[in-house]
Amino acid sequence: MSRIPAVNPQTATGRGKELLDAVKQKLGLVPNMTRAMANSPAVLDGYLGLSGALAKGALPAKVREQIALAAAEANGCDYCLAAHSAVGKAVGLTPDQVRDARLGGAVDGRTDALVKFARRVVDARGRVTDADLAAVRAAGWDDAAVAEVVAHVALNVFTNYFNTVAATDLDFPPAAPLAAGAAA
């Protein structure tokens, strides 16, 4: 059971209602995470603002979902693993790509470098090495991509921590368990 109650969009008022209505209009549903965030319209507004801005960035939707999956696995966020597994599938990730992202990699070399870098940012709490940056650049990514990865990691750490603290009730199918012996 959630430790931060979900705000009912039908009974919400003020800015919280405006934001929840915008989520419903965009997604066709109001996920439990955004309903819980609506307890503080400032929190929901901040999440939606950064998420919306990054969606206009240079990284493709599949890569953004792979980064989200890598962060969610690293942070042990069941809600985010469920949500991003579902969204990843919706944007065209295969089950193998979802698994690989959760493990911090990808089959495609260029994407692999970016997902590994994202996982390194999470694991090192931002204290990456010159070699970490060189590996991303050697794979053909520029500084804009590096900046966007850091922003995506920050956004996902926020949602991972929020959902873990809130114990947000799943409203997506649970993520498949990783195979025995797979190390995240």
Give residue 1's pLDDT band: very low, low, confident or very high (50, 70, 90): confident
> Residue 101 pLDDT > 70, yes or no?
yes
For domain 61-166, which CATH number applies: 1.20.1250.20, 1.20.1290.10, 1.10.10.10, 2.30.30.140? 1.20.1290.10
What are the pLDDT digits (tens) for 119-169?
999 999 999 999 999 999 999 999 999 999 999 999 999 999 999 999 999
Residue found under tokens 């368990």: 177
pLDDT at residue number 90: 96
pLDDT at residue number 179: 75
Residue 45 backbone dihedrals phi, psi, to 5 degrees: -60, -45
Residue 38 backbone dihedrals phi, psi, to 5 degrees: -65, -10
Q: How do the domains of the chain map onto residue ranges?
A: 14-55, 61-166
CA distance 94 to 9: 33
pLDDT at residue number 184: 54
What are the pLDDT digits (tens) for 43-94?
999 999 999 999 999 999 999 999 999 999 999 999 999 999 999 999 999 9
pLDDT at residue number 5: 96
Give residue 183's pLDDT band: very low, low, confident or very high (50, 70, 90): low
Higher pLDDT, 126 or 181: 126
pLDDT at residue number 139: 98
> Residue 180 pLDDT > 70, yes or no?
no
Interval 7-31 mean pLDDT: 97
3-state secondary structure the chain: CCCCCCCCCCCCCHHHHHHHHHHHHHHCCCCHHHHHHCCCHHHHHHHHHHHHHHHCCCCCHHHHHHHHHHHHHHHCCHHHHHHHHHHHHHCCCCHHHHHHHHCCCCCCHHHHHHHHHHHHHHHCCCCCCHHHHHHHHHCCCCHHHHHHHHHHHHHHHHHHHHHHHHCCCCCCCCCCCCCCCCCC
> Residue 112 pLDDT > 90, yes or no?
yes
